[in-house]
Amino acid sequence: MKLLPTPLAGLTLIETTAIADARGRFVRVFCEQELAAMTGGNPIAQVNLATTHRAGSIRGLHFQREPAAESKLVRCLRGRVYDVAVDLRKGSTTFLHWHAYELDASGQRQVYIPAGFAHGFQALEDDVELLYLHGARWSPAHEGTLRFDDPALGIAWPLPITQVSDKDRQAPLLGAGFCGISA
Protein backbone atom coordinates (compact mmCIF):
# COMPACT_ATOMS: atom_id res chain seq x y z
CA MET A 1 0.00 0.00 0.00
CA LYS A 2 1.25 3.42 -0.96
CA LEU A 3 -0.17 6.26 1.20
CA LEU A 4 -0.55 9.55 -0.69
CA PRO A 5 -1.37 12.68 1.32
CA THR A 6 -3.88 15.18 -0.05
CA PRO A 7 -4.19 18.94 0.53
CA LEU A 8 -6.52 18.18 3.51
CA ALA A 9 -4.62 16.85 6.55
CA GLY A 10 -5.55 13.25 7.33
CA LEU A 11 -7.43 12.66 4.08
CA THR A 12 -5.28 10.05 2.35
CA LEU A 13 -5.44 8.44 -1.06
CA ILE A 14 -4.17 4.87 -0.95
CA GLU A 15 -2.75 3.12 -3.99
CA THR A 16 -2.76 -0.66 -3.89
CA THR A 17 -1.09 -3.16 -6.14
CA ALA A 18 -2.93 -6.13 -7.57
CA ILE A 19 -1.24 -9.49 -7.93
CA ALA A 20 -2.62 -11.04 -11.09
CA ASP A 21 -2.35 -14.37 -12.83
CA ALA A 22 -4.51 -16.51 -15.12
CA ARG A 23 -7.09 -17.01 -12.33
CA GLY A 24 -7.68 -13.30 -11.76
CA ARG A 25 -6.25 -10.89 -9.22
CA PHE A 26 -5.71 -10.42 -5.51
CA VAL A 27 -5.59 -7.01 -3.77
CA ARG A 28 -5.08 -6.24 -0.09
CA VAL A 29 -7.80 -3.77 0.91
CA PHE A 30 -6.99 -3.31 4.60
CA CYS A 31 -3.94 -3.92 6.76
CA GLU A 32 -4.18 -2.72 10.36
CA GLN A 33 -0.40 -2.50 10.73
CA GLU A 34 0.20 -0.44 7.58
CA LEU A 35 -2.74 1.90 8.20
CA ALA A 36 -2.29 2.28 11.98
CA ALA A 37 -0.67 5.71 11.64
CA MET A 38 -3.87 7.00 10.01
CA THR A 39 -6.48 5.05 11.94
CA GLY A 40 -4.83 5.25 15.35
CA GLY A 41 -5.30 1.49 15.52
CA ASN A 42 -9.09 1.90 15.80
CA PRO A 43 -10.92 -1.24 14.73
CA ILE A 44 -13.38 -1.47 11.88
CA ALA A 45 -16.83 -1.25 13.46
CA GLN A 46 -19.07 -1.62 10.40
CA VAL A 47 -18.79 -2.53 6.71
CA ASN A 48 -21.33 -1.25 4.16
CA LEU A 49 -21.87 -1.75 0.44
CA ALA A 50 -23.57 1.01 -1.59
CA THR A 51 -24.97 0.36 -5.06
CA THR A 52 -26.01 3.34 -7.18
CA HIS A 53 -27.87 2.57 -10.39
CA ARG A 54 -27.79 5.76 -12.43
CA ALA A 55 -24.85 7.85 -13.61
CA GLY A 56 -25.08 11.42 -12.30
CA SER A 57 -26.67 10.32 -9.00
CA ILE A 58 -25.23 11.86 -5.85
CA ARG A 59 -25.06 10.33 -2.36
CA GLY A 60 -24.10 12.61 0.50
CA LEU A 61 -22.54 14.65 1.92
CA HIS A 62 -22.78 12.67 5.19
CA PHE A 63 -20.91 12.79 8.50
CA GLN A 64 -21.34 11.88 12.16
CA ARG A 65 -20.75 14.06 15.22
CA GLU A 66 -18.99 13.04 18.44
CA PRO A 67 -19.22 10.76 20.28
CA ALA A 68 -20.02 8.72 17.15
CA ALA A 69 -17.68 10.48 14.69
CA GLU A 70 -16.50 7.98 12.13
CA SER A 71 -13.60 7.45 9.80
CA LYS A 72 -14.15 5.66 6.49
CA LEU A 73 -12.03 3.61 4.14
CA VAL A 74 -13.80 3.76 0.76
CA ARG A 75 -13.12 1.58 -2.28
CA CYS A 76 -14.97 1.34 -5.61
CA LEU A 77 -15.80 -2.26 -6.56
CA ARG A 78 -17.71 -1.58 -9.78
CA GLY A 79 -17.85 1.39 -12.15
CA ARG A 80 -16.39 4.85 -11.49
CA VAL A 81 -17.24 7.58 -8.99
CA TYR A 82 -16.23 11.16 -8.24
CA ASP A 83 -15.57 10.93 -4.51
CA VAL A 84 -15.63 14.09 -2.37
CA ALA A 85 -14.52 14.78 1.21
CA VAL A 86 -15.18 18.08 3.04
CA ASP A 87 -13.17 19.10 6.11
CA LEU A 88 -15.59 19.98 8.94
CA ARG A 89 -13.05 19.90 11.77
CA LYS A 90 -13.44 22.85 14.09
CA GLY A 91 -10.24 24.91 14.02
CA SER A 92 -8.75 23.13 10.98
CA THR A 93 -6.72 25.30 8.61
CA THR A 94 -8.67 23.68 5.75
CA PHE A 95 -12.11 24.05 7.38
CA LEU A 96 -14.87 23.77 4.71
CA HIS A 97 -12.35 22.99 1.98
CA TRP A 98 -13.15 19.97 -0.16
CA HIS A 99 -11.02 17.57 -2.13
CA ALA A 100 -12.18 15.15 -4.81
CA TYR A 101 -10.68 12.19 -6.63
CA GLU A 102 -11.91 9.55 -9.01
CA LEU A 103 -12.20 6.00 -7.74
CA ASP A 104 -12.84 3.12 -10.11
CA ALA A 105 -13.13 -0.65 -10.17
CA SER A 106 -9.54 -1.13 -11.32
CA GLY A 107 -8.81 -1.71 -7.65
CA GLN A 108 -5.73 0.49 -7.60
CA ARG A 109 -7.04 3.30 -5.38
CA GLN A 110 -9.05 3.73 -2.24
CA VAL A 111 -9.37 6.65 0.16
CA TYR A 112 -9.15 7.03 3.92
CA ILE A 113 -11.47 9.75 5.23
CA PRO A 114 -10.78 10.67 8.86
CA ALA A 115 -13.42 11.53 11.45
CA GLY A 116 -14.51 15.14 11.13
CA PHE A 117 -15.06 15.03 7.37
CA ALA A 118 -18.27 14.86 5.36
CA HIS A 119 -18.26 12.39 2.48
CA GLY A 120 -20.25 12.00 -0.71
CA PHE A 121 -19.89 10.85 -4.28
CA GLN A 122 -21.35 11.11 -7.76
CA ALA A 123 -21.73 8.01 -9.91
CA LEU A 124 -19.86 8.52 -13.18
CA GLU A 125 -21.32 5.33 -14.67
CA ASP A 126 -24.46 3.28 -14.19
CA ASP A 127 -24.49 0.56 -11.52
CA VAL A 128 -21.53 1.55 -9.37
CA GLU A 129 -20.67 -0.17 -6.09
CA LEU A 130 -18.69 1.27 -3.19
CA LEU A 131 -17.37 -0.67 -0.20
CA TYR A 132 -17.10 1.28 3.07
CA LEU A 133 -15.15 0.20 6.15
CA HIS A 134 -16.32 2.42 9.03
CA GLY A 135 -14.44 3.18 12.23
CA ALA A 136 -17.72 3.63 14.16
CA ARG A 137 -21.24 2.26 13.95
CA TRP A 138 -23.90 4.40 12.30
CA SER A 139 -25.75 6.48 14.87
CA PRO A 140 -28.89 8.26 13.62
CA ALA A 141 -28.75 10.61 16.63
CA HIS A 142 -25.28 11.85 15.60
CA GLU A 143 -25.73 11.93 11.83
CA GLY A 144 -25.37 15.12 9.83
CA THR A 145 -25.80 16.03 6.17
CA LEU A 146 -24.43 18.90 4.11
CA ARG A 147 -26.20 20.02 0.95
CA PHE A 148 -24.43 18.66 -2.12
CA ASP A 149 -25.08 21.96 -3.95
CA ASP A 150 -24.33 24.39 -1.12
CA PRO A 151 -22.81 27.54 -2.68
CA ALA A 152 -20.63 27.95 0.43
CA LEU A 153 -18.81 24.75 -0.62
CA GLY A 154 -18.92 25.24 -4.39
CA ILE A 155 -18.36 21.57 -5.23
CA ALA A 156 -17.85 21.11 -8.98
CA TRP A 157 -19.74 17.89 -9.71
CA PRO A 158 -18.54 16.58 -13.10
CA LEU A 159 -21.90 15.36 -14.49
CA PRO A 160 -25.39 16.82 -14.59
CA ILE A 161 -27.15 15.66 -11.42
CA THR A 162 -29.74 12.96 -12.16
CA GLN A 163 -30.85 11.68 -8.73
CA VAL A 164 -30.51 12.76 -5.10
CA SER A 165 -32.39 11.38 -2.10
CA ASP A 166 -35.03 13.58 -0.45
CA LYS A 167 -32.93 13.60 2.73
CA ASP A 168 -29.85 14.90 0.90
CA ARG A 169 -31.83 17.42 -1.17
CA GLN A 170 -33.49 18.83 1.98
CA ALA A 171 -30.29 19.19 4.03
CA PRO A 172 -29.89 22.78 5.24
CA LEU A 173 -27.43 25.15 3.66
CA LEU A 174 -24.40 26.07 5.76
CA GLY A 175 -25.01 29.25 7.67
CA ALA A 176 -22.58 31.74 9.13
CA GLY A 177 -23.14 30.06 12.50
CA PHE A 178 -21.64 26.71 11.45
CA CYS A 179 -18.29 26.55 13.23
CA GLY A 180 -17.43 22.92 12.60
CA ILE A 181 -17.48 19.65 14.51
CA SER A 182 -15.14 18.06 16.98
CA ALA A 183 -13.39 14.93 15.81
53 included as an active-site residue: no
CA atoms within 13 A on the CB side of 124: 15
CA distance 160 to 68: 33
- List the Cα angle 113/118/123 in 5-degree steps: 85
Cβ atoms 141, 60 nearer than 8 A: no
Query: Which positions ≥6 away from 116 have C-beta within 8 Å?
Result: 10, 63, 69, 87, 88, 89, 92, 180, 181, 182, 183
**C-alpha closest to that of 97 among 146, 148, 152:** 152
CA atoms within 13 A on the CB side of 119: 24
The catalytic position among 62, 99, 119, 134 is 62
The catalytic position among 97, 101, 132, 142 is 132
For 125, which DSSP code?
A: S
62 included as an active-site residue: yes
Burial class (CB in 10 A: 0-12, 13-18, 19+), 42: middle
Catalytic residues, which ones? Answer: 62, 132
